[in-house]
Amino acid sequence: MFSLTILLIPSLFATTALSSQLPLKLENTSDDLYYRLPNEIRRVAVIGAGATGLQITATLVDHGFEARMFERAPNPGGVWHYTEKVPVPASFPNDPIETMAYVPDIPNRLPSTRIYEDGDEGRTVDWRLREHWSPSPAWRNMMTTQPYQIMSLPDTGYPKNTPWKLHQLDVNRHVRQYASSVGLNANDGDHTNITSYWTRVERVEKIPGTARRWTVTLRKVTPLRDGKLEVAWWQEQFDAVVVGYRSDCEAAWVPPIRGLDGWASTWPNFVFHSRQYRSPQDFANKNVLILGGGLSGVGIANDLIGHATSVTLSARESASRPIIAAARGGLQSNVTLIGEVTQFHEPSALHANLRDGVLTLANGTLVSGFDTVILATGFRKSLPFLVDYHNSTIKGRDDPETIVAPIVTDGTHLRSLHWTGHYIDDPTLFVCTEGPWRDRVAYLQALGAARVWSGKARLPTIEQMWKTYPGAAHVLQELSLIGRIKSRLFVTWLNNEILEFGGPLVIPPSFDE
């Protein structure tokens, strides 16, 4: 487990403690060099109750903010909240990036309440619940790829004799234990006004005449005992908003492979995205094809061994990312590895079932004989509640001038963010770009947001932040620096601000057995 040491600074002697962290010298303290908040920040909305959102909310509460945490699931955990329920099927082809994660549902009149029952508008209550919730893509036997010493939350340990690799249930229990320790678990809701589970954020916007505050439109579902579903909509006002998750595992991405849409339409129960995979027992005596050679593809392929009749993994032969190479290195020997699929041939009357369907590989080889196709093809970043900050007309790393600087473009990355996570054009909007585990960068990022909004840390002016912004050509590397480097960058900045304004000195986290 790691620890984050905090030391009080009684005098300038503490400056020497920072010498190994290369503190920056602030020779000019003119207010003109720094961003000025438009108004006092007191009330903050946090979206998401995964390991990251929980840390951010707890940090804000510790710093005296009136925080409200919204989570569309019934419990905390994010991707580690395993459930047998599966998300609604992914769209073939993909929905637009703006609504790839979900389509916001806002009635004309707010607040509003409605009761749904099976059959209303052609939907079941179960479908409405899963569409609202979007259950985690974790599968029953999923294991971590990192040791438990790294995957630890503040002041929350794992039991003795915990194995090096963790089962997803171990991580889930760990996250919920942390949530309880800081009063943010689902069963703490009756005692605080902080958490709101089963609540999806439909829109975040600044409306003229609201004193520069953010208006957040919310949608909460409540399953009723009679099998019906109550849905309530309302709005709340906030001084600042935090996107407390990285949106890495919500918007399922379907590759534009010729003929794939036709297969999904013809055999919808047998061609699906990996986020719907749960258990290998469901594929007993089946010939399974998995598209995608990343961590999920390899993990699911290995999980199926011993249950499926055969497991075949299709991956691009040109892929050279180290993480993919490492994942493939973990493939069990009885998984068949083939090249990239370039075409799904159109089903015909001769193809009564999927096993008769024919695929073409990149080298021209024709293959067939599969009962199920699982698309472990990843996700795209989509933040439907920030519709004003999407611009899907911008592709790849193009960086044209726009009236509103977008945060999401083609879904491959987030942009227009300062390295701290603040949206450059309006730092009262904050997007967490870091994972919750390694080197506690997410916690340090939360600490930075809390100190900036409380006036105890400074950001450069908006103009200066844009001058130092790396641009879309480098934003991926800039926002995904190695954890240890990014951790020290945050610590150096925070401690220089602490030397100016006072407070506890933070030194980099260390890992202990």
Residue 327 makes CB contacts below 8 A (sequence gap 6+) with: 293, 294, 295, 297, 298, 299
Q: Tens of pLDDT along 440-489?
A: 788 899 999 999 999 999 999 999 999 999 876 554 444 445 667 788 88
3-state secondary structure of 304: helix
- Find where tokens 């050279």 sit: 320
Q: Tens of pLDDT along 362-390?
A: 999 999 999 999 999 999 999 999 999 99
Mean of all residue pLDDT scores within the chain:
87
Give me the helix-helix angle, 295-304 and 322-329, nearest 10°: 10
pLDDT of residue 13: 29
330 pLDDT exceeds 60?
yes
Q: What is the DSSP letter of 213?
A: P
CA atoms within 13 A on the CB side of 335: 25
Neighbours of 123 (CB within 10 A): 15
pLDDT of residue 145: 83
Q: Which residues pair with 358 in a beta bridge?
A: 368
Q: In what order do the strands lie in the sheet with 66-71?
A: 195-197, 66-71, 43-47, 240-243, 429-431
CA 381 distance to own-chain centroid: 8
pLDDT of residue 22: 35
Structure tokens at 55: 């840390």
315: closest CA among 361, 379, 348? 361
Spell out the domains of the chain, with CATH numbers in brackets. 2-250+381-511 (3.50.50.60), 254-377 (3.50.50.60)
25 pLDDT exceeds 50?
no
**Global pTM value:** 0.89
Task: Give the Cα separation of 266 and 285 in Å (integer).
Answer: 22
Q: Tens of pLDDT along 138-164?
A: 999 999 988 888 888 988 989 888 898
Q: In what order do the strands lie in the sheet with 372-375?
A: 271-273, 372-375, 287-291, 310-314, 336-338
pLDDT of residue 21: 36
Structure tokens at 256: 């534009």
Higher pLDDT, 318 or 211: 211
Task: Give the Cα separation of 257 and 205 in Å (integer).
Answer: 36
